[in-house]
Amino acid sequence: MKFLNRVAIAVVILSFAFGCKKDPVTPPEEPREPEEVIGNVISNLETADTISVFVDALKGLELSATDVEEGITVFAPLNDDEARAQQARMMGSKRSSIQAFGTEDLTSSVLKDHIVKGVIKLADLTNDRMLTSLSGKELKVSRVGKKIWINGVQIGSDEIGATDDQVVYTVKTLLSGTSVDDELQTTSLEVVVWDATAWTPEKPKGVRAESGTVWLYASQEDYANSVVAYEAAIDTGKAIFEDIKAGTYYVEVEYGDKYNIFYEGEEAQDGYYFGMAAAGIFQSQSDVDGWAEQPDAAVGNFKWTDSNSDGVINAGDMVKMPYENAEIKDGRVKTVEIFVGYDNNAAQKPLTLEEFDAQLNTAHDRIGGWQKELAVADALLGGEAVSDTLGAALNGQFGPLNNFSFTPAVPVINQLWQGGYSVIHSLNAIESRAPQAAELGTLRLFRAYIYMQLMHYFGKVPLLTVETQGASLSNSDPDAVYNFIVAELEQVSGQLPQQAADGGVSKGAAQALLAKAALFKGNFQLAITLTDQIIASGAYALAANTTQIFKPSGSEVIWDHSETMREDIKRFFYNRSVFPIIRYTEVMLMNAEAKAASGKLTEAGQVYNQLASRRGIPPIGEAVSAQAFADQLHTLWRIEMPKEGGRFVNLVRWHKAAEELGSKGYMEGKSNVLPIPQVVIDANPGMLQNSGY
């Protein structure tokens, strides 16, 4: 008989209730023989696959005439595969699958826990009725509608092989470890959630997730269409779905920014989302070596399922999402374990302070290199250099910028873009993994500086403030990017020292960048305030003469990182070994410009004359007009800071670019910014190209 194959836990045999009112018994004409009664039970159940373990054990059970004089009621535990995990369904439970036992473990006492005196019909299993098994174990009947439980364990809804001598019911689990106080077993799912990013050799699963959400979907199509069947919060490591409908559910888990969906495509394909299926966590290097060839294989990372069995993990192994599912059967408590993490856990693991500092130093090296490449590009765009004078390597890289006929497909455009955004991605990743003791002021200043440069050269750029590798890009509102830059710099200016050794980042650098941002937005009073503060700090000073300006650790250097400067760029920059990112002369020039623009020509002239005197340039008179002062200041700016990476953006800001650069093909409304790289436009449908390109 295979009519029981939908049930999944253990069999329990109970004795009739001790101390309760007994069913009236009609004595048989002849006394019941124990061997005959138990033999009939075995014979009736011989072909019942789902309770075969219990039936086999009954063959060795000896009962007395007293045990069977009123007939018997048997509660037989099921033995299908689902029952194997039942013992662990909740912490502290003593319920067990019958398949956790061998036949030899099902002792006479255990078997008698599941047999009750008397033939108790289904209708007589009434709510709160107490029974006593042949072993003396108390059993409590609970009944809600048509559902019946014995000590909290649900029984089958049919009488099996009922005769005047015996009746059998199936039960989901063994009754031997139960009590009359146990809660009712319902159709439930427990999802235990493990944070795999906390993996260590001592914690092979990671740690339990403290919070988050679990969603169940009736199908993978429902997931693709966001049709949720059930939702539950994670509490102390697990989410519990009680009294749900039996069926198969696909599981999605979110714990902060960690998920159990990996490398998921951005769009559904044929009604499904596809991603990589985790097959476990790499526990050792030998585990890595023995797995399929996997690009991100590392101890502590997820091992991806080689779904096409070709020995290589790649896009061909992507499967429908969610991959993990749970089959819930009526009256069961199913427990599943789900692991959450990142596509690459090892790359997201919290850094030590030493690792944090090392990665920040690497980012600083890259910023220093990018700043100098931008300066070469700016010199070509701003007419300070021509490509033929750069040397073969620089000409090959930057030559297309010699005039404004370049297109979005020119490689150098993408190099300049990626040079900034690759560091932003790194900084965002470092910030997300920063140890609690880390100071983030330097990191935030780096990021603000990069965004300022990207805005100056590319215009409407995407604002990425958290690590979003693989996310689709779109243009951000320039005001949002500007506000982010200002907010970051304002916050860090109070965290950094006024001056740092060897040209490191400092409060002075943050104030200078804020002043530059204010000047570009036309906020002249703020630019005055900030540059006045830098001047009044006494931390910096004009070099006594122009030969001392670019000395290492010179008095003018506010922020410098020239240690890794390329030799060809060093030659481009007059063979100087120091190529500052910010220096004091620029602060003085910004101060003079902001004061002149605010009508404070006398004060602006005093600042101008300090710089002019050092250069041997005649001082500016007090009677000069605002326009004449601006023209002379713009000339002084060109003289003071040639090839330092500001000429082109200043000409655009002063609205002089068309006049100065028209012969190079500059077009107003187009050439004020570079095009967005074509490869970026092609890969991101949400990105709009700059006007004119």
Residue 84: the pLDDT is 40
Which pLDDT belongs to residue 32? 85
Contact 434, 351 (CB under 8 A): yes
Residues 650 and 675 in one domain: no
Q: What distance in Å separates the CA atoms of residue 492 and residue 195, rounded to the nearest whole number?
A: 33
Cα dihedral sign, 121-122-124-128: positive
Contacts of 357 (CB under 8 A, 6+ apart): none
Looking at the DSSP assignment, which residues form a beta bridge with residue 341? 259
Amino acid 212 reads: G
Q: Does 510 share its domain with 643?
A: yes
C-alpha–C-alpha distance, residues 286 and 199, integer Å: 17
Residues 387 and 265 in one domain: no
Place of tokens 């910004």: 590
The whole-number pLDDT of residue 104 equals 52
* 21 falls within a domain: no
- The tokens for 619 are 């001082």
Q: Classify residue 354: in a domain, yes or no.
A: yes
- Regarding whether 424 and 329 lie in a shared domain, the answer is no
pLDDT, residue 52, reads 87
Last residue of one domain, picked from the residues 144, 171, 198:
171
150 lies in the same domain as 281: no
Bridge partners (DSSP) listed for residue 169: 75
From the number of C-beta atoms within 10 Å of its C-beta (0-12, 13-18, 19+), residue 686 rates as: exposed
| Residue 7: per-residue pLDDT | 31
Q: Using the 3D structure, point to which of 295, 321, 345 is the last residue of a domain.
A: 345
For residue 85, count other CB atoms closer than 10 A to its CB. 17
Q: What is the extent of the structural domain holding 674? A: 350-495+665-693
SS (H, E, C) 629-674: HHHHHHHHHHHHCCCCCCHHHHHHHCCCHHHHHHHHCCCCCCCCCC
The CATH number that applies at residue 264 is: 2.60.40.1120
Q: Is the dihedral of CA 167, 173, 179, 183 positive or negative?
A: negative
pLDDT (0 to 100) of residue 640: 96
248 occurs within a structural domain: yes
Can you read off the two tokens belonging to residue 501?
Answer: 């050794």
Same domain, 483 and 601: no
Q: What pLDDT does 86 receive?
A: 38
Please give the C-alpha separations between residue 620 and each of 74, 606, 608, 617, 632, in angstroms, as whole numbers. Answer: 111, 9, 7, 9, 8
Q: Clarify whether residues 123 and 133 are in a common domain.
A: yes
Please, what sign has the CA dihedral across residues 299, 305, 311, 315?
negative
E strand or H helix that includes residue 375: helix 353-381
- CB 391: neighbour CB atoms within 10 A? 14
Output the six-digit token pair for 158.
């049919």
| Contacts for 470 with CB less than 8 Å, ≥ 6 apart | none
**How high is the pLDDT of residue 564?**
86
**pLDDT value at position 648?**
98
Same domain? For 354 and 275 the reply is no
**Domain total of the chain:** 4
pTM over the 0.85 mark: no
β-strand pairing of 166-171 with 72-77: parallel
Helix, coil or strand: residue 303: strand
**502 with 629, same domain?**
yes
The whole-angstrom separation of Cα 693 and Cα 691 is: 6
- In a domain, residue 52? The reply is yes
- Sign of the Cα torsion 655, 656, 661, 662 reads positive
Boundary of a domain, candidates 317, 345, 373: 345
Token pair for 521: 């937005």
CA gap 152, 304 in Å, rounded: 40
Q: What is the pLDDT of residue 470?
A: 61
Residues 214, 321 within the same domain: yes
Query: Would you say residue 564 lies in a domain?
Result: no
- pLDDT of 10: 32
| Average pLDDT of adjacent 10-residue blocks, the chain of 693 residues | 32 31 51 90 85 89 93 87 38 44 71 95 94 96 88 87 91 91 87 95 96 96 95 94 91 95 91 96 95 92 96 94 91 87 86 93 96 97 92 93 96 96 94 90 97 98 82 91 97 89 88 97 97 96 90 90 92 93 97 97 96 94 90 96 96 97 96 97 94 96
* Residue at 660 is within a domain: no
In the prediction, which pLDDT does 13 show?
29
Nearest residue to 112 via CA among 179, 169, 160, 176: 176
Both tokens assigned to 9: 């836990």
Local structure of 406: helix, strand or coil = coil
Q: Are residues 432 and 550 in the same domain?
A: no
Residue 472 resides in a domain:
yes
Residue 18 lies in a domain: no
Cβ–Cβ < 8 Å for 461, 476: yes
What is the phi-psi region of residue 553: left when phi exceeds 0, alpha when psi lies from -120 to 50, beta otherwise?
A: left
Q: Are 348 and 544 spatial neighbours (Cβ–Cβ below 8 Å)?
A: no
CB 109 within 8 A of CB 206: no
Give the DSSP H/E element, type plus range, for residue 585: helix 584-597
Query: How are beta strands 278-281 and 302-304 bridged, if at all?
Result: antiparallel
CATH number of the domain residue 157 falls in: 2.30.180.10
CATH no. for residue 409? 1.25.40.390
Are 632 and 688 contained in the same domain? no
Distance (Å) of CA 690 to CA 655, 672, 676 = 19, 10, 6
pLDDT of residue 94: 41
